[in-house]
Each structure stands twice: as C-alpha cells, then as structure tokens.
Structure 1
Amino acid sequence: MKKCLILLVLVLFTFSAFAEAPIYLGEKITLTKVTKMSELLANRAKYQGKKVLVEGLIIDVCAARGCWMALAGDVPFEHLTISVEDGVIIFPMHAKGRTALAEGTFDAYDLNLEETIESLQHKAEEKGEKFDPKSVTKPITEYTIFTTGAVIK
C-alpha cells in the first residue's frame, strides 16, 4: 500500500511538472473585468469600437500565419475572432483547446452574401479544406476583437 501511495505521488508530480505555463502575447492586459461574449453580441452597438476583455476556449487558430484565433463564447455556437495585424502577434497552433484572455477593440461586421462567401472561402483555403460557395445561402456577421494583448492559459 505504501509503495502504491509513493508511486501515485510521483506520477502526480510528474504530470504537474509538465503542465503548460501561460503564454503572454503582445502588450500587457490592463482591463480586469471580463465581458461575456453573449453580452457583446447581444449589445453590439454599446460595445462597438470599445476596448474589452474576453475569455474563452480556443477553438481554432489561423494555420497560415497565426494571425487570428477563434474563441468559443459562453453560449453554445457563439464565437468571435481575435485578430491582429500580420506578424504583430503570432497565435500558436498548439493553443487549440486551451483558454485565452484577450484585450482589444470590439467590432461587428455585417457582411453581404458576396463578402460572406469570400470570407468563408478564405478561411477554408487557410485550413486546406474544400468549400462550396453554393452552400452559403445567407450573409453572416463577423464579430472580431482587434487585440493588443492576450494570455493563453
């Protein structure tokens, strides 16, 4: 029994030693209050152009340049894109599945049908996925935070 306990303790220490440390990207985050994504999306006019802090699970990262990552919201099927100017911050591909905090300016873009197709085509190309423009039947709204700083937990 004593050997099992010692072995368990060693295994736990080993796993804790390999726990990933936070990754700090860009400028230091200055805001302390996290705004829920559902709040941003429901009240977009109130937050448009304002600096906000969001937190969410990283569900996707730009495979081409690491110039954006998508965070899942607090409501199922809601997400927004955290984006940067190419090369300013590079979001690592291995961050998928981790939680991130991101601070920046919130914007919502109502795309027309043609812009929607172009946007979805571009994202599919970045991922190396096939895309059928005929599958797009209505325009979308893209929600973005142009970030100045982020922390991947």
Structure 2
Amino acid sequence: MRTYFPKKGDIEPRWFVIDAEGQVLGRLSTTIANIISGKAKPTYTPFLDTGDHVIVINAEKIRLTGRKETDKIYRRHTLYPGGLKERAARFVRAEKPEAMIEEAVWGMLPKNKIGRKMLKKLKVYRGSDHPHQAQQPEALTLGE
C-alpha cells in the first residue's frame, strides 16, 4: 500500500480566530504553532504547508507568568558594532504587543522557507476587531 501525500490542490486551509485575553503567552503560542504548521491534521506532511490560518485578537491582554513582565528581555541587533538593542516585555507590550506573540510563535516554527510561509498565516491584532470577516473564521476557545 502506498503512502498518501496531499497535493497542493487537496489542501483547503481553514480560518480560526482566537481571543488572547487572559491566555498565557507560551501556551497560546504552542497551540497557534501547531495549527499554522498543520501538525494537528491527519494529512500533515513535513515538506508541504498544510496548516490553517489563525487570527489572534486582543493581543495587548496576553498574560505573562511570574516576573516575566519586567525580567523577560527582547533582543535584536542592528548588525552594526555595538548595535544590540534590548527591551523589557512591559515596553514591548506597550508599543507593539503583536510582536510578542509573533516572536513566540516564530520560535516554534522551522527556520526555513516553509516556516516563513507558515508565519504569514498568523494575523495578530490589538483590540477585538479584525479585517478578515470575509473569510468567516471559526472561533477557537482554548482550554483553561
């Protein structure tokens, strides 16, 4: 018996909307990474993008456990000498809370072409409004 591999035309991505209010960042990111990578599907294939689209709303209301609000440091480098930039999580939350979720999910995806394609399926927004009503996303509630 031959192993079934889905073709590009066989994959029909679905859209999900997740409310991040009160959700722990790492647990939410793990769920999102599994959905957009397609690992939750029986047709998962490592070399194909079989994942679904995820819309995250209320990104500013994400929860960090312990003392991560002040102790967690987000780092980036400008590629110039001495160009290391560091910001605490509370400042990142105030300026761009979407970046917290996107960076956490990116850390859980493969670092290659497929991983970059998967990350494009993640849409993160402040507040409860999003411009993807035409896709008719299904509400996804995460277990407490």
**TM-score, with length taken from structure 1:** 0.23
Whose strand proportion is higher, 1 or 2?
1
Tell which has more relative contact order, 1 or 2 (C-alpha 8 A, sep 6+).
2
**TM-score, with length taken from structure 2:** 0.24
Whose helix proportion is higher, 1 or 2?
2
Higher CA-based Rg? 1
